[in-house]
Amino acid sequence: MNREVIIACDFSSAAQLTEFLDRFGEERPFVKIGMELFYAEGPAIVREVKRRGHKIFLDLKLHDIPNTVKKAMAVLSNLDVDIVNLHAAGTAEMMTAALEGLTRPDGSRPLLIAVTQLTSTSEQRMRDELLIDHPIDEVIVHYAQNTQAAGLDGVVCSPLEAGMVKEACGKEFLTVTPGVRFADGDAGDQVRITTPARAREIGSDFIVVGRPITAAADPLAAYRRCVAEFCG
Ligand code: C5P
C-alpha cells in the first residue's frame, strides 16, 4: 500500500468545497468528506467529487445495531467511495456485518477501517464516564486486534499510536492518522500531533490533514509540501 495524504475537507457547503478543489488544477488529491458536509449536501456531493476524479474517504463513523450498519454500508458501497469507517466499540459482530454490507456482488468493496478511541477521549474520561478502566493504549491495541479479527483493513488512530498498532497487528494492517502539523505550523485544537515526516517514520499509511492545507494561503503548495515530507 502506497502512503497517501488525505485532505480533510471540513467545509459546510458544496460551493466552498468545489472552490477549494478548483485551486488544485490538474492535481486530484485524496479527499475526506465528513459528517458536516455529508449531512449538508447528501450523497450528491460524494458523486460530484468522484466525478472530478478524486479518491474519497467517507468519514461517517457508523455505530448502530449490526443489521442497520450492514444495510447502511450497502448504500455507501454503491457510492463507490474508497474508504469508509465505523466505531470498533460497535463490537466484532457489527464490524463483520458492516463488511458483508459493503461487499459488492463482484466481491469488490471500499477499504473499511475502525475508530478505536477518539483522540478527544482522555484516559480519565474513558474510566470515569465509560467505566473502561484499562490503560488507554491497551484499549486502543485491543480494539485494533478486534478490528483485525473481524476482517477489516485497519484503524484510524493518532500517529503517535500507529507504531504500537503495527506492532500488534502487523505492517499490512492500515493506520490512518489525523493530528498532523508542519514543524513550523499552528497546532490549533489538536493536542497529540506530529509532523508528516515523523508520521512516515512511525508507520502511518495515510495521513489526514485538514487546516494546515485548507487554511493555508496557498493550499496547493501546502499539499505538495505535505506529500514531499510524507511520501518522499
Ligand atoms: O484540521 P485538522 O488537520 O485538525 O483536521 C483533522 C481531521 O481529522 C478533522 O476532519 C477531524 O475531524 C479528523 N479527526 C481527528 N481526530 C480523530 C478522528 C478524526 O482529528 N481522532
CATH at residue 161: 3.20.20.70
pLDDT value of residue 191: 77
Q: Residue 75: how many CB atoms within 10 A of its CB?
A: 11
- CB of 29 shorter than 6 A to ligand 1: no
pLDDT of 57 higher than 80? yes
Q: Tell me how far the alpha carbon of residue 192 lies from the centroid of ligand 1, in angstroms.
A: 11
Q: Averaged over 130-149, what is the pLDDT?
A: 96
**pLDDT tier at 49, thresholds 50, 70, 90:** very high
Indicate the pLDDT class of residue 232, thresholds 50, 70 and 90: confident
Give the integer Cα–Cα distance in Å for 55 and 201.
Answer: 24
Mean pLDDT (the chain, rounded):
95
Domain limits for position 224:
4-231
Label residue 168 by pLDDT band (50, 70, 90): very high
Q: Is 193 in the pocket of ligand 1 (CB under 6 A)?
A: no
Indicate whether residue 10 lines ligand 1 (CB < 6 A): yes
pLDDT at residue 192 greater than cutoff 80 = no
From the centroid of its chain, how far is CA 175? 9
Taking every pair of C-alpha atoms in the chain, what is the biggest distance, in angstroms?
Answer: 50
Please state, in angstroms and rounded to a whole number, the distance separating the CA atoms of residues 227 and 229: 6
Among the options 32, 55, 61, 70, which is catalytic?
A: 61
Evaluate the CA torsion angle 197, 2, 42, 147 in order and state its sign. negative
Q: Which of 5, 6, 10, 209 to mutate to test the pocket of ligand 1 (most atoms within 8 A of CB)?
A: 10
pLDDT of residue 120: 84
Provide the number of structural domains found in the chain: 1
Question: Does 190 score more than 80 pLDDT?
Answer: no
Integer Cα distance of 156 and 143 in angstroms: 11
Based on the residue annotation, tell me whether 61 is a catalytic residue of this protein.
yes
Cβ(178) – ligand 1 distance below 6 Å:
yes
Note the pLDDT of residue 1.
66
The model's pTM: 0.96
At 69-106, the pLDDT tens digits run 999 999 999 999 999 999 999 999 999 999 999 999 99
Q: Which residue lies with its CA nearest to atom 8 of ligand 1?
A: 178
User: Residues for the chain: how many in total?
Assistant: 232
What percent of the chain shows pLDDT beyond 90? 91
Q: Whose CA is nearest to atom 13 of ligand 1?
A: 178
Q: How far is the CA of 8 from the centre of ligand 1 (A)?
A: 7
Q: State the Cα–Cα distance between residues 53 and 50, nearest whole angstrom.
A: 5
What distance in angstroms lies between residue 10's CA and the mean position of ligand 1's atoms?
9
Q: How far is the CA of 189 from the centre of ligand 1 (A)?
A: 10
The pLDDT value recorded for residue 119 is: 82
Cα distance between residue 200 and residue 169, in whole Å: 18
CA of 106 to the centre of ligand 1 (A): 33
Q: What is the pLDDT of residues 7-29, one digit of tens each?
A: 999 999 999 999 999 999 999 99
